Amino acid sequence: MSLKGKKIVLAVTGSIAAYKTPNLVRLLVKAGAEVQVLLTEAGARFVSPLALSTVSGKQVLQSVAEGDSWNNHVALGLWADAMVIAPCSANTLGKLANGLCDNIVCAVYLSARCPVFVAPAMDEDMWMHPSTRANVKRIQEYRNKLIPTEFGELASGLVGEGRMAEPENIFSLLTSYFTTAENKPLEGLKAMVTAGPTYERLDPVRFIGNFSTGRMGIAIAEALANAGAQVTLVTGPIERQPANHAINIIRVESADEMYEAGLVVAKESDIAVLAAAVADYKPAQQAPNKIKKADDELSLKLTRTKDLLAALGKIKEPWQTLIGFALETENEVENARKKLNGKNADMIVLNSLRDEGAGFGHDTNKITILKRDGSVVPLELQSKSDAAVAIVDHITQLRYAEKTV
Ligand code: CTP
């Protein structure tokens, strides 16, 4: 497997397993990766910087400031495609779990926007200690990837759990990560998509609805599933079904039902895409029997529905990505930006009804993507499935730009 062009920061901390890291560097470099080694003071007692700089072909960085020069940890954190902390001592694990920053490894870790792999190494009793257990749990909650320890002989002479994974196993985990990341960048993530119209019942035979067909939402659900996400589609009344049977479907009818179901699913989801055309108003009262015609005029009293996108924006966790749609007929970009900020979304997909081939009922769509960094990306008129793939590419970029992936 090739790691050609991949940039990897390998952080070596104080554990006897550090003596195995030149082998890990050699495997990575042979596969084509560029490896920058970071070494803590304790790590340097177990493995020499000279050995590591020789196999990596790069100077090993041992502190944030060396002499009168400063090693730019922020730049390194941005440079890396992956950071691997191997071996990760109990002490470093504690620092990662608590955000401490007293060496180059912690500084780069806190600056890294790439996925971070942590390969702990310690004696079994240390590994089983409740504080270590809590630290392991916490770093996983921060979306770091734990490389499980292995069972075997330990430095103490005891035999048990706590050995650092063998360099060959760390290497194969990294290569399979990169293969998956390229083909299935959203593997392991949960996504919710809302789609279709909502029907607001007036009486047993009539409703207020809209012309949404759900095609755009279904296409997004399919594209997210193709990118590896586990998808739940919360949909209003639509005729089509997603072709991918792995997509879990929850059918609802009204805006209130969509709100209730969507809230539950989204709370557990890493990504929520709200593509449904939800009614903003519903009849204040639903007649129990068919409304009979009588006078020349009939007035309906409508009340506001609850806004799912706005509600999710209020409770959004840092690990969650929230995407809304905006269907506009005038001052499109300005109105979409108001929705982006007002509803605390990470991205808004704008449809303008003024664009030919865009909006309800067409197989094509012309969208513009707005993000919180201020970017506005207009896309060409394309099929809804191509537009969905483009939307998912933008979602993937957002996820990878965040430390929390
Ligand atoms: N939305 C929602 N729940 C609602 C209304 C809207 O989740 N009750 C979501 C839509 O799915 C879409 C976004 O909010 O992702 C924007 O919907 P839109 O109807 O275009 O905008 P509104 O915020 O309702 O504003 P306005 O109708 O004034 O344009």
Annotate 163-197 with DSSP letters as a single string. EPPPHHHHHHHHHHHHHHHHH-TTTT-EEEEEESB
% the chain with pLDDT above 90: 82
Does 7-183 match 190-402 in CATH topology?
yes
Contact 107, 98 (CB under 8 A): no
| Distance in Å, CA 380 to ligand 1 centroid | 24
CATH number of the structural domain 190-402: 3.40.50.10300
Kindly state if the Cβ of 393 falls inside 6 Å of ligand 1.
no
Choice from 252, 271, 280, 281 to test ligand 1 binding pocket (greatest atom count within 8 A of CB): 280
| pLDDT tens by residue, 143-196 | 899 999 999 888 888 888 999 999 999 999 999 889 888 879 999 999 999 999
| Residue located nearest, by CA, to atom 14 of ligand 1 | 309
pLDDT band at 2 (very low <50, low <70, confident <90, very high): confident
Kindly state if the Cβ of 274 falls inside 6 Å of ligand 1.
yes
Q: What span, in angstroms and rounded, lies between the C-alpha atoms of 207 and 60? A: 69
What's the whole-number mean pLDDT along residues 262-270? Answer: 98
Q: What is the pLDDT of residue 1?
A: 64
Q: What span, in angstroms and rounded, lies between the C-alpha atoms of 42 and 156? A: 17
| pLDDT tens by residue, 59-68 | 999 998 877 7
What's the whole-number mean pLDDT along residues 302-325? Answer: 97
Strand partners, 376: 370
Contact 395, 388 (CB under 8 A): no
| pLDDT tens by residue, 30-69 | 999 999 999 999 999 999 999 999 999 999 999 988 777 7
Kindly state if the Cβ of 280 falls inside 6 Å of ligand 1.
yes
String of DSSP letters for 6-46:
-EEEEEE-SSGGGGGHHHHHHHHHHTT-EEEEEE-TTGGGT
Q: What is the pLDDT of residue 42?
A: 97
Extents of the domains making up the chain: 7-183, 190-402
pLDDT at 297 exceeding the cut of 70? yes
Which positions are catalytic?
Answer: 210
Q: What span, in angstroms and rounded, lies between the C-alpha atoms of 51 and 22? A: 7
- Mean confidence (pLDDT) of the chain: 93
Contact 282, 254 (CB under 8 A): yes
Token pair 């035979």 is found at 205
Q: Which fold has domain 7-183?
A: Rossmann fold (3.40.50)
Assessment of whether the complete model's pTM goes beyond 0.85: no
